[in-house]
Amino acid sequence: MVSRSMNVSSSDIKRSRISRRHLLAGLSGLALGTMLVASPLALADGHANLISAKDWAMVQDVAKGQTVYWHAWGGGDRINDYIAWIGDEVKKQYGVTLKHVKVSDTANVVSQVVAEKAAGKDKGGSVDLVWINGENFASMKEKGLLLPQAWAPDLPNYRYADIKGKPTLTTDFTVPTDGLESPWGMAQLSFYYDSAVTKDLPKSATALLDWAKKNPGRFAYPKPPDFIGSTFLKQIALELAPDATVLSKQVTEETYKAVSEKLFAYLDELNPVLWRKGKAFPENVTSLKTMLADSEIDIAFTFNPGSASSAIANNELPGSVRSFVFENGTIGNSHFVAIPYNANAKAGAFIVANFLLSPEAQARKQDPNVWGDPTVLNIASLKSEDKARFDTLDLGVATLKPEEFGQALPEPHASWMERIEKDWTKRYGAQ
């Protein structure tokens, strides 16, 4: 006797197989749906490579509760205070904790990420965000140490960036950014002095050498590879080069020989008449400011056009300090933040980078009482209430007007500085 459960036709069997396939498909769909619903947790748990700044709602969900380790230069109190304020704001507005890892040389951060990649640490890295530009960006880009996909243009506040008016926002020391770093500040080399003390101002590299010989011990520059010390070397190299256009290209033995001969002949003459006869060098830009305030030197320089006014406002420099630039222009560039490929808190890093581009953060940054760093934004693109943030800023008595700056000279190709800094160290660094 055949049991009722076994008494089925071939059509019943076929229908059963179809139903089973539908059931399995439905279960798979349900699992996939569950994964998608849970994706913020999954992303936060180490799969954040999947996240895109285009989905800002998702970014905000994933970022909440994350801790972002931002490796940034820590040599200036005003800058440190500003970064601390950024941390307070992203914590309050987005639930992101920001930790400022203070560094003296960004090259060390690059080496740290290189070491992690060599060790196979492709997620959960120790660096979530890095303040970067120039040769360090070029190195990280070349070595594949950055997020592989363009992300900066997808940040909501990137639409305010003055891409057309400020070409350096998309080209970093001649290297295209390709959306792998987000701008947050402008810079141009400017010199400052106490107008109550110093009257004759050198307006070129050659004139500066002559001035230093007439005023021995009254000029100094920080020891490379400190960024402002290296910038001084680049400024001199650009002015003295037989053909300055070669510095915009990858360095070769032939082009390096022609440029370096002029540069080091100049430095050989300058070195004996520097502060402490070139046997010691200031540590950084903050050291230069302190030396001018203490009357150890007569001319200092900075890459932040608002730095002198900011220092006056905070009683760090006398009110008689003023600024000047060389007649044929000085080096200008932008600075950025980038995200390493193995960052642990990518969503949180997006949040911080986006907030740095906000009118609120940019206006505060340009305030000389806070930092005095020029904005990267196109002010005309802002809403009226955000334009007002900038219109009401008093940039200070020592800040040059835009028309007084003259030409912003392009940064040399990043490959030049590795050679120049290495040779500089051999000649003067061991003294």
The pLDDT, as a whole number, for residue 15 is 41
Residue 314, SS3 per DSSP:
coil
**Cα dihedral value 330, 72, 193, 390, nearest 10:** 80
Contacts of 267 (CB under 8 A, 6+ apart): 233, 236, 424, 427, 428
Assign domain 190-333+408-429 to its CATH superfamily. Answer: Periplasmic binding protein-like II (3.40.190.10)
346-374 pLDDT tens trace: 999 999 999 999 999 999 999 988 998 88
The pLDDT, as a whole number, for residue 167 is 86
SS3 string, 255-312, reads HHHHHHHHHHHHHHHHHHHCHHHHCCCCCCHHHHHHHHHCCCCCEEEECCCCHHHHHH
Contacts of 315 (CB under 8 A, 6+ apart): none
Q: Is the pLDDT confidence value at 26 over 70?
A: no
Q: What are 27's two structure tokens?
A: 């279960």
Which stretch of DSSP H or E encloses residue 30? helix 10-37
The pLDDT, as a whole number, for residue 43 is 43
The pLDDT, as a whole number, for residue 372 is 86
Which pTM was predicted?
A: 0.74
Q: Determine the Cα–Cα distance for residues 178 and 169; give it in Å rounded to an integer.
A: 10
Residue type, 172: D
250-271 pLDDT tens trace: 999 999 999 999 999 999 999 9
CA distance to 138, 167, 174, 255, 347, per residue, from 155 (Å) = 22, 19, 23, 40, 11
* Location of each CATH 3.40.190.10 domain in the chain: 51-186+334-399, 190-333+408-429
119-171 pLDDT tens trace: 999 999 999 999 999 889 999 999 999 999 999 999 999 999 999 888 899 99
**Do 70 and 83 contact (CB within 8 A), yes or no?**
yes
79-129 pLDDT tens trace: 999 999 999 999 999 999 999 999 999 999 999 999 999 999 999 999 999
Which architecture, in CATH terms, is 51-186+334-399? 3-Layer(aba) Sandwich (3.40)
Q: Determine the Cα–Cα distance for residues 105 and 111; give it in Å rounded to an integer.
A: 11
177-217 pLDDT tens trace: 999 999 999 989 999 999 999 999 999 999 999 999 999 99
The pLDDT, as a whole number, for residue 308 is 94
228-241 pLDDT tens trace: 999 999 999 999 99
* CA angle 221–227–232, rounded 5-degree value: 45
